[in-house]
Structure 1
Amino acid sequence: MAISSIAQADEAQINSATLSYTVVGEGPAVMVMHGGLGLDHTYLRPYFDQLSDTHSVIYYDHYGNGQSAYPEDFSDLTMERLVSDADALRAHLGHDDMTLIGHSYGGFIAQAYAAAHQDRLRGLALIDTAPALDYEPALSGNEDQMGALDALFSGPMPDNETFRATWNLVIQMYFKDFDPAVGVRLDEATTYSYQAWNAAAGLLGTFNMTGILPDVKTPVWAVAGRVDGITPPDHGAGRIADLAPNATLTIYENSAHYPFIEEEEAFFTDLRAWMSGL
């Protein structure tokens, strides 16, 4: 595992709300967008901290998630708002451009960001995400895990305790080889937001980048774990690579939804190589 850098969380007033963010390192900007929604940025650390030897690595919690402000009405949580927040945070931190890394749901937001602001991007890394949700996931697990999956996606979560317990069963199916110790560490670091989880699906009701990615000229690194059941390579990274004109596709054979955890060394060797060519 990468050694975690010490960094103090900070706050910025973005679009009239407080966003909690952390910057590790100095240099050209790398912004990392977390998934969920309903989770926060903590599961991305310390893994992406290792890029801080050459870059400013920017983590933040999306509006309505983690330690950032929560709207009174989660209908205010729109994709346009999430994209605007990211660009305003970039500007607040004084960067003219950045490399944007989006994992899972963060990859949906990152694609939407590229559609609106590709002039601000050096590169776009899309990790275990998809250009459209027009397919059926292919997750498999035991009876408890599959029951939790059905509960998670079939109706709203009533509170954070239920969301946390349900998510911690489902996430076991998001790894090729789940390590309970990793699961405990990720869980203990996470601030859960059941309201953001409940709002997340609605934001993707019309999400479809298949007609837009061909116009994204930014270099794209499309990444997937071979056995990812929630964003399978054929429906996710493979399609992104086919659609984006300057895309590179990498599939990690011994990973599912978290290749930066399950195949950390190979993942970051490849990420650095791709970034060096931007």
Structure 2
Amino acid sequence: MEKETLILLHGGPGLDPSYFFPSLDPLKDSFNIVTYTIGSTTSEPTLTNLQTEYSSMLQSLENENFSIIAHSFGSFLALSEATIEKYDNINKIFLVNWIYNSEWIEEFYERNPEEKNNNFTSLKDSFIHYSKYYFKDLSLASSVFDKIKYSDKIFKQISLEFGKISLFELANKLSQKIVSISSEYDGITSKQYHNKINKMLNLNNYHFKNSGHFPFIEQPKLFLEIISEETKVKE
């Protein structure tokens, strides 16, 4: 039986997909994994150019059927017109601790006002500083953040455009394909933030009780079980 394609869209912006592995390595037995570093093929990293880059990747799949796992900022690409154009080829879109507008930023600073005026010398330093908001188990943070290849340029450019992100209408068009995943201990995008859109669009939702922003790292067995069950061909 031919393997289905599974696209992994990492978060950030300014990160790479290395943090998906080794947690998601078992998926390679069942799927053809497609991943890339968002923004790596464009000289001018803007929201528009990131979408163009993503669209080109999707077009390269031609008529293949596929699913998507989009983590955090990766939802900006998963919820796009390029994805809608491939609607009939999509099995499932897994949105993991995802964003759909810029309200998560305002909510984060409302919860943590002491973090509002921070300045960091590098993107990596900022992730290390915010580790306690990303992980329930802090001992995992350094092994994850140390192996990522960061792009300060991509982060700085895209962060200027965060306010333009509004994905509600696109999420609505794709709602029948979406599996929303949130985490109890995610200090970046809160349970309340996710509950709001899950209820508005009546999305299929899983909530991880013992994970932070990276549930596939903190609860990999459960995460893999969900992917397997949701992508199973229904008789």
Map 1:1-278 onto structure 2 (within 5 A): 27-63=3-39, 68-69=40-41, 71=43, 76-93=44-61, 96-112=64-80, 113-115=82-84, 117-135=86-104, 136-138=106-108, 147=115, 150-151=117-118, 162-179=122-139, 182-236=140-194, 238-244=195-201, 247-277=203-233
When normalised by structure 2's length, the TM-score is: 0.85
Contact in 1 for aligned 2:24/2:220 (Cα 8 Å):
no
Contact in 1 for aligned 2:42/2:49 (Cα 8 Å):
no
The percent identity for this pair of structures is 20
Which structure exhibits the higher relative contact order, with contacts defined as CA atoms closer than 8 Å and separated by 6 or more residues?
Answer: 2
Q: Distance in 2 between matches of 1:214 and 1:91?
A: 23
Contact in 2 for aligned 1:217/1:244 (Cα 8 Å):
yes
Q: Count the aligned residue pairs.
A: 230
For residues 119-158 of structure 1, the C-alpha deviation after alignment (integer angstroms, 9 at most, x for no partner) is 44221110001322225334778x9xx55x6426xxxx66
Q: Distance in 1 between matches of 2:35 and 2:230?
A: 20
Aligned AA for 2:46?
Answer: T
Aligned AA for 1:49?
Answer: D
Quick one: structure 1 residues 233 and 95, their matched pair in 2 at CA, closer, same or farther if it must change by over 3 Å? farther
- SS of structure 2 residue aligned to 1:99: strand
Contact in 2 for aligned 1:79/1:109 (Cα 8 Å):
no
Q: Distance in 2 between matches of 1:130 and 1:165?
A: 22
Contact in 2 for aligned 1:137/1:229 (Cα 8 Å):
no
Quick one: structure 1 residues 114 and 233, their matched pair in 2 at CA, closer, same or farther if it must change by over 3 Å? farther
Q: Distance in 2 between matches of 1:232 and 1:88?
A: 32
Q: CA RMSD in A?
A: 2.6
- SS of structure 1 residue aligned to 2:187: coil
Structure with greater helix percent: 2
Q: Distance in 1 between matches of 2:160 and 2:29?
A: 38
Unaligned runs of 5+ in 2: none
